[in-house]
Amino acid sequence: MLRRNFIAATSAYALGALNLPDPESVTRRANKAGAGRVAAVRQMTKGLGDAAAELGGGHGRHLAVRYLVQDVGPWLNGTYTERTGRELFAASSQLVHLAGWMAQDEGNEGLAQRYYVHAYRLADQADAPEPAATALRGLAVQAIGLGPKSHAVALRLSERCVEEAKSLDDPRAVSYYQTTLADAAALDGDRRLAIRALTASQTAIEKMPDAPPGESWASHFTIGRWAHHSGMILARLGDLDAATEHLRQALDIHGLDRRRSRAIVLADLGQVHLRQGDIDAALSTWTAFLGCADGIHSVKIAEAANDMAVRLDRYAHIPEAADLRQRGRSLLPEAAV
C-alpha cells in the first residue's frame, strides 16, 4: 500500500473538516511565538490524553476537536521558520491522532480512520517518522480489530508502520510498532513472524524498562503496556499459560497507572482464565473488572462487558455468573441493553 495512494482518498476531508492549512505552510516565515505554540499543543495533547486514558475517549473529545479547530488551525496558518513549522506540524499530528483515538474509543471507527489519515499526512509533511508510524499503527489496530476479514490489510499496515520507524532509536517506539506487527501476524496465522516480531519488541522494551515516558505518543509504551499486548498476542497464538503470566505482570505494572487500562487488562485476564477452564478465577477477575470499569466511557469497556456476558451465558446456572452478567449491563450502550 503506497503512502501517497493511501492518503489521497481522504486528504480533502482532512483539510476541510479540521480547517487545517495547505502543506506548504510548513516552510513559512519566522514568527517569534512559534516555539511557544508548539509547547502549548504538546501540553494540551498530554492533558487531554491523560484524561482520556483514565476515563475513556468519550470524555473530552469535543475539547480536543474544539482546540484543533479554534486554536491549532489558525496557528498552522501562521508564519514560522521551517524548523518551527515542522515541529508544529509534528505536534499537531499527535493531537489529531489523539482525537482519532478518542473517536475510536467512543466507537466511531470511520471518523477515527479519517483522523488517523490526517495525522499521518501532517507527520509526513513535517518529515517526522515517529508520529507518522504512530498514525499508521492506529490504522493497523483498527484493521486488527475487524478480525480475519481484514488480516491482510492489518499485516501490511503493520509492516509499513515498522518500515516508517526504521530510523528511530527510541527502544520504546521500536517495541510499540513491533508489537503491533506481532499482533497482525498472529491474526494472519503467521506464527513464525508473530514470534519474531514479539521477540524483537521484548528485546527493545527491556533496554530501558524503567525510563519515564517522553513527550511522544510511542514513548508512553512502557514495559507494563508491552506485557498486556504481548499477553493477548500469546493468547491468540494459543499459549494461555504464558498469556496469563504476562497479563498478571501487566496488572502489577501497567494496571496501576490508569483505571481504564486496569479494567481492560482485568477483562482480558478473565477471558483467558475461562479459556483455561478456571471458572472461579474468571469470575473473581471479572468481578474486579466491573468494579474498576464503573464510570468509564469507552467502547473497549463496553465490548469487554458484552464479551463477558456472552461467555458467561453457558454458566447461567451459577449465581455468581448470573450476577456478573446483570451487573455488566450497566456498561453497555443503552441500545444494547
The x, y and z cell numbers of residue 24, run together, are: 506548504
Please state the pTM of the whole predicted model.
Answer: 0.84
Percent of all residues in the chain with a pLDDT value above 70, rounded to a whole number? 87
Amino acid letter, residue 202: Q
With CA atoms as reference, report the closest residue to 165 among 152, 153, 178, 182.
Answer: 178
Asked if 260 and 54 count as a contact pair (C-beta separation under 8 A), the reply is: yes
CATH of domain 258-337: 1.25.40
| pLDDT at residue 227, as a whole number | 95
| pLDDT at residue 194, as a whole number | 98
Backbone angles phi, psi at 325, to 5 degrees: -60, -40
Task: Name the more confident of 85 and 210.
Answer: 85
| pLDDT at residue 80, as a whole number | 81
Amino acid letter, residue 255: G
| Residue 209, SS3 per DSSP | coil
Q: Quick one: residue 189, left, alpha or beta (phi over 0 = left, psi -120 to 50 = alpha)?
A: left
* CB half-sphere exposure, 139, CA atoms < 13 A: 26
* Residue 199 CA: distances (Å) to CA of 195, 213, 226, 242: 6, 22, 11, 14
Mean pLDDT over residues 248-268, rounded?
A: 86
Looking at residue 79, the DSSP 8-state letter turns out to be -
* Residue 289 CA: distances (Å) to CA of 113, 235, 267, 329: 29, 19, 6, 13
* CB half-sphere exposure, 309, CA atoms < 13 A: 18
Mean pLDDT over residues 33-60, rounded?
A: 82
| pLDDT at residue 292, as a whole number | 93
Label residues 153-185 b or e (16+ Cβ within 10 Å = b): bbbbbbbbbbebbeebebbbbbbbbbbbbbbbb
Question: Domain residue spans in the chain?
Answer: 1-127, 147-251, 258-337
User: What kind of architecture, by CATH, is found in domain 147-251?
Assistant: Alpha Horseshoe (1.25)
Mean pLDDT over residues 24-29, rounded?
A: 44
